[in-house]
Chain A
Amino acid sequence: MTQHLNRRGFLRGGLALGCSAAAFPLISHATFAAAPFDHRLIVVILRGAMDGLDVIRPVGDRNFRQLRPELGQGEGPALDNFWQLHPGLSGLMPLWQAGELGFVQAVSTPYRDQRSHFDGQDMLEAGTAMDSPPEFRRDGWMNRLLAGLPGARSETAFAVGREALPILSGPAPAQRWAPETEMRVSPQARRLLEQLYEADPPFHSAAGTALELTEMLNDLEPMDPAGESEAMMAPPPMMGLPEPEKANAEVSAFAAFAAARLREDTRIVALSLAGWDTHAGQDNAIRRPLARLEQLILELKAGLGPVWNKTAFIAMTEFGRTVRQNGTKGTDHGTGGAMITAGGAIRGGRVLGQWPGLGDSDLYAGRDLTPTGDVRAVAAWVIHGLMGIDKGALQNGVFPGLDMGTNPGIV
């Protein structure tokens, strides 16, 4: 059992280093307290700027088709007499009908005019305004949310996948994992590694968490040596040909891992789906990211089982895209966009948001959908309803300077 105790030592050192030892008392697996709330929050960053107007189409607006004569060729299911869903998400219609899927149109972060993916995503994940003080810009808003949750610990929040997720980064401990990771180390080597990393806090912390997670996963599904060696020989996904399959497998792994964690102690999950930057040939280019989004939502629902009823899922993107199609049957970086909500804990079946219209004088800078709501306010009201966090903490601590406005009643 020295191995076991050793792991504890590793973990303790790792967490102590999060420079928030006071707020997050040292913990071990055995002393994990119950999470402070029972609901689940999943936030998905749609990287690349999803074209909200193509995904939730305002077909009832008489200007819409004229502005985009060659986009959105295939008809999708009608949500009501104004809105139509992109056919690539038609698999979600049962959720819409059950009130477990909703949308918010014409929303954006406070980010304006520069239209850079990277800055747009930074602001989306930092949850800040253009004039927020720099100390807020460094950390993700979900990390500040976590820091304010009494009794939160690293296991409470998970970033899933290999990509960086600044939305969860910051001093409050959160975990991050790609479901397929392995670490094969003998007990003696483990002891030596622990001593080796002792004087180097970032290494010590990372290794401690890695050890904890590999062991959790081993508990989840017993290791299969044959399968392992086969996996080592398989061609790497990116080098292979059928990319859609790769996307499917990756999304499945994300969904399965996230659902497994959320069925246990984890309450908050962040992940990202890329591929929305449809500058050219949008009708074709948007299909794959939509398929991945649909698959993610459906597999999370299936994997969560009864926990789905306590779950709110929010998908957000850095900004919308130009209202008019561009010269390459695509759209360029814009401003107002859309959000997608799902889960048994939300009141769906509605497209929320104040519609600004698409007439020339309605547009932002003569080119973009005018934002009439703030992405952060939507997230804040969901969190308020889900976790009971008060408005003051949300408007000052999590999203500095945000005015939440009136409650849209999503949760």
Chain B
Amino acid sequence: MATPKAIIAHRFGFGPRDGKLPLYPPASRLDKPDRMLKTFAAQGSADAFAWLVEIRKISDAAAGGDNAARKQRQAALAEASRRALVNARLELARAVQSDDSYRERLVRFWADHFTVVARRTLQRPLMTPFADDVARGHLAGSFAGMLRAATTHPVMLGYLDQTGSVGPQSQFGQRRKRGLNENLARELLELHTLGIEGGYTQTDVRQAALLLTGLSANDTDGTVYLPNRAEPGAETILGKSYGGNRKARIDDIYQFLDDLAVHPATARHMAWKLAVHFVSDTPDPALVADLAAIWRRTDGNLLAVSTALTEHPAAQKPDQEKARQPFDYIVAALRALGTSGAQIMDWKDPVLRRTALRPMTAMGQTWQQPNGPDGWEEAFDRWITPQALATRIDWAMQMPRRLRDKLPDARKFVDLALGDLADDQLIRLVGRAETNVEGVGLVLASPQFNRR
């Protein structure tokens, strides 16, 4: 019989580590310091951008035909890939080592909610700093704070083309014949806040894009506000007027973002999205309604909403309706196998690739490369396909013996990995495996371990 504690540890975390379930309720540590961020510290945004500035100089020289600079640029591309790999390793180590794994799951949720994707190799080292700044930094704060951090982050401004958007009637727009790019405004409304059914129109998108003009970024200075690119005059979005006859200023954009963060449509959209991600592809309407109510009552306090999610009766039911996404699956398997964060830090690059990154791709989730700004899909049948399940089974059967010289006895491993989520049938079948390796593989390939 599955106990609530085990269900919660799988649903809101990555399951037990080395057989041990967390000692605290999942949300109880969210307002404490982020220990994994310190233990496995990644390069910050400022340093990542400073490096890009150096590389930009080399690129300019290379474009000018300087042969030595061309070689340096090739080396810089390799270095960017190496840095991205270091970041992947750190993020994996954090998730595997953490005893606060609801935080790690929420990091993935929010980083996915505010998806950014590197379009070029040189941008790859920026993805983890973005997630650290936006998701980790605001998990237990207000959504308004997280929204502001995401929307004004130089990585987001680059990804959704805001850096090239200019008010057509602005000084700069008139002089240089430059114009508007709606991309950020559209995704801000559709994906990040109100949702597609949030009741906005194409006019609202256009007006929001006009309001956002002036907000830009470059590698040297990070986020900047350039009033000479801002469209003059007021914009009206969702019936409210922003800006006015005074000089354009970034505070008008902040005010707009703050309003979006607490809009009832945002509350509903985010409540639904959290419930879908953590509990069910078709969540109990009461769960969504209750979370949305808490969102509205607390003006989008993420600690309150995240806590309520784990404590809601609809989130306690024993049915494991969700499929673990590939990253979560590999993290959970490594935790069950007793791999430590420190060991992951010591893996050679090829081991990291064949253990985590390549299998994730084959399971349908290339690390930090979702298809578009809507991030990863949620539907169960998106993840449990013939090809993805084949890869999970292959991983379960082949990987554990490469990771550990001596695997635990499979009959004990059922308990380490699943605790009381393992049913009698699974325990019986594991006992009938021809080899211990296959017994361990059977546990990791089981529906119980692939669901949550």
A residues contacting B by CB (< 8 A) are 47-48, 113-119, 162-164, 169, 175-178, 180-186, 188-189, 192-193, 195-197, 199-200, 202-203, 206-211, 213-214, 232-233, 235-241, 243, 274, 277, 279-280, 326-328, 330, 332-333, 365
Contact = CB atoms under 8 A, between A and B. Distances in A.
Given A162-B361, A210-B389, A214-B390, A332 B442 contact: no
Contact of A196 (B362, B364, B425): B425
23 contacts: A48-B372, A114-B202, A162-B364, A176-B386, A183-B393, A188-B438, A192-B432, A192-B442, A193-B442, A196-B429, A203-B447, A206-B384, A206-B389, A207-B390, A210-B390, A213-B387, A213-B390, A233-B350, A237-B361, A239-B85, A239-B357, A327-B181, A328-B164
Contact of A236 (B178, B353, B441): B353
Interface stretch (B143-151, B182-190, B283-291, B336-344): B182-190
B180 A327 contact: yes
A249 B173 CA distance: 42
A185 to B, nearest CB: 6
A206 B354 contact: no
B84 interface: yes
B381 to A, nearest CB: 7
Nearest to B121: A241
A181 B387 contact: yes
B362 A162 contact: yes
B40 interface: no
Contact of A118 (B361, B374, B391, B445): B374
B447 A197 contact: yes
A241 to B, nearest CB: 5
Given A200-B447, A239-B85, A241-B81, A182 B390 contact: yes
Contacts of B380: 202
B371 A332 contact: no
Contact of A243 (B121, B164, B179, B350): B121
Given A162-B362, A327-B178, A189 B353 contact: no
Contacts of B425: 195-196, 199
A277 B124 CA distance: 19
B412 interface: no
Residue with the greatest number of chain B CB neighbours at <10 A, chosen from A182, A235, A238, A365: A238
B362 A181 contact: yes
A206 B84 contact: no
Contact of A210 (B85, B358, B364, B387): B387
Contact of A327 (B164, B389, B434, B442): B164
B191 to A, nearest CB: 8
Contact of A189 (B202, B354, B397): B397
B382 A164 contact: yes
B164 to A, nearest CB: 3
A118 B377 CA distance: 11
Contacts of A193: 393, 442, 445
B386 A280 contact: no
Interface residues of B, number: 67
A116 B362 contact: no
B369 interface: yes
Given A116-B196, A233-B350, A280 B181 contact: yes
A254 to B, nearest CB: 13
B179 A326 contact: yes
B357 A188 contact: no
A183 to B, nearest CB: 4
B366 interface: yes
Given A239-B84, A279-B183, A192 B429 contact: yes
Chain B, interface SS category:
helix
Nearest to A322: B182
A241 B78 contact: yes
Contacts of B85: 239
A149 to B, nearest CB: 21
B446 interface: yes
A184 B398 contact: yes
Q: Lowest 6 A-B CB distances belong to which pairs? A: A328-B164, A327-B179, A210-B390, A210-B386, A209-B386, A183-B390
Contacts of B166: 327
Interface in B141-194: 161, 164-166, 168, 173, 178-183, 186, 190
A236 B85 CA distance: 11
Contacts of B181: 279-280, 326-328, 330, 332
A45 B425 CA distance: 43
A48 B181 CA distance: 16
B362 A327 contact: no
Contact of B386 (A47, A177, A197, A279): A177
B237 interface: no
Contacts of A328: 161, 164-165, 178, 181
B394 A183 contact: yes
B71 to A, nearest CB: 14
Interface string B398-442: 100000000000000000000000000110010011100010011
A206 B386 contact: yes
A185 B441 CA distance: 10
B77 A176 contact: no
Given A182-B391, A333-B182, 8 more contacts: A118-B374, A180-B362, A184-B397, A185-B394, A188-B434, A236-B358, A239-B353, A327-B164
A182 B363 CA distance: 11
A327 B433 CA distance: 63
Nearest to B365: A162
B97 interface: no
B385 interface: yes
Given A239-B81, A280-B164, A328-B164, A206 B433 contact: no
Contacts of B179: 326-327
A184 B377 CA distance: 27
A206 B186 CA distance: 37
Given A164-B382, A175-B386, A202-B381, A238 B394 contact: no
Contact of B450 (A184, A203, A210): A203
Contacts of B164: 279-280, 326-328, 330
A307 to B, nearest CB: 24
B264 to A, nearest CB: 20
Contacts of A210: 386-387, 389-390, 393
Contacts of A116: 186, 190, 196
B86 to A, nearest CB: 11
B40 to A, nearest CB: 19
A178 B387 contact: yes
A196 B442 contact: yes
Contacts of A113: 201-202
Given A119-B196, A196-B445, A326-B181, A203 B81 contact: no
Interface in B299-314: none
A186 B398 CA distance: 11
